[in-house]
Amino acid sequence: MSAKHYTFRIQRNRKGPDGRIASRWVDYPVSATETTTILTLLEEIKGDQDGSLTFRQSCRSAICGSCAMKIGGRTRLACKTHVGSVANADGVVVVAPQANQPVLKDLAIDIGPFFERIHKIQPHLEDGPDTDAVLEQSAYDQVNHVTQCIMCGSCYSDCVMAEVTPEFIGPAALAKAFRFVSDPREGQKRRRLEQLSHPHMMWSCARCAMCVESCPKDVKPMEAIVKLRTRGLAKGLDAGPGPKHALAFHQDIQQTGNLNEFTLMMRTVGILGTLEELGTAFHLMKKWKIPSPLPHKSAGLAELAKIYEILEEHPLDVETKAKEVVPE
């Protein structure tokens, strides 16, 4: 494979005398084959062009998670990403530090706030009535899937909810929570789900699926979050706008096959909450985004009713196909 010319456009970040980070973009020409990794080329730039370039790396094997950074607009592991897969048509590769986290210098971020969120999740099974339960293969598969997370922070960096709500615990911590909630041996599932029902926890996810896209280990944190919500509702934890919104969706689709957006807000946040959102409603009306106030039913409702019948009989089968992890 022959070498090509690329331009690395790297965001350089330095703390100024006022303590604030000042950013600038600097271009570095490199020559490489398409399958050369971004990390290899960053090291080449640091070695041959500018020794002050700062970034993190350790294992070089997509295991430690320390080289996660924004590459081509998405957070990726530099040691796993081939330059040919992220360069634009002009051969430019844009590299920046992870988003939603404080920058220390150049591409290195302060990982403290990310791990503060992770530490909110009790990191071991807790004693309780289910302590002696058997971990069958299918339950093990589910538990094991989320433990593939390497805590690289990519999901948190690309999370749109973390961008607008810094208090949000984030996808990685919620995936970690699911590891324990989904374990049949966990003795405090309900207490964990109660904690996860608090503001800025599992119901704050906007389900944009960016975490699914960016996870280098295919952990699919958003799917874990949806499963946590299902388990919370199955335990009767339905207070607050998040569960109410989900239940209103459920009710509408089950009964008519359509979402009644006209009454959805009222059923989610009540009269006072709806009054607070009137400005947004008027804005949408000005754009002619007006839901029909008249109830109408979709075709094929009988088919839908059959699906709901099965789901309501076995609420978790849709996620696990494992009879041994259906809640007690």
Position 132, amino acid: D
* Under rule CB under 6 A, residue 153 binds ligand FES: no
Residues 6+ apart with CB under 8 A from 67: 39, 55, 56, 57, 58, 60, 77, 78, 79
Cβ proximity to ligand FES: between 56 and 231 the closer is 56
177 and 146 Cβ atoms separated by less than 8 Å: no
Using CB under 6 A, pick the residue from 10, 30, 41, 77 that binds ligand FES: 77
CB of 59 to ligand FES, least distance (A): 4
* Under rule CB under 6 A, residue 217 binds ligand FES: no
Q: Which of 183, 179, 158 is CA-nearest to residue 168? A: 158
Cβ proximity to ligand FES: between 104 and 125 the closer is 104
Helix, strand, coil content of the chain in percent (nearest 5): 45, 15, 45
* Under rule CB under 6 A, residue 41 binds ligand FES: no
CB of 187 to ligand FES, least distance (A): 34
Cβ proximity to ligand FES: between 40 and 188 the closer is 40
For residues 44 to 73, the per-residue mask of contacts with ligand FES, x marking binding by CB under 6 A and - elsewhere, is: -------------xxxx-xxxxxx------
* Under rule CB under 6 A, residue 193 binds ligand FES: no
Residues 6+ apart with CB under 8 A from 143: 135, 179, 182, 183
40 and 62 Cβ atoms separated by less than 8 Å: no
Measure the CA angle with vertex 129, ends 121 and 181; round to 5°. Answer: 30
For residues 107 to 146, the per-residue mask of contacts with ligand FES, x marking binding by CB under 6 A and - elsewhere, is: ----------------------------------------
* Under rule CB under 6 A, residue 148 binds ligand FES: no
Residues that bind ligand FES (CB under 6 A): 57-60, 62-67, 77, 79
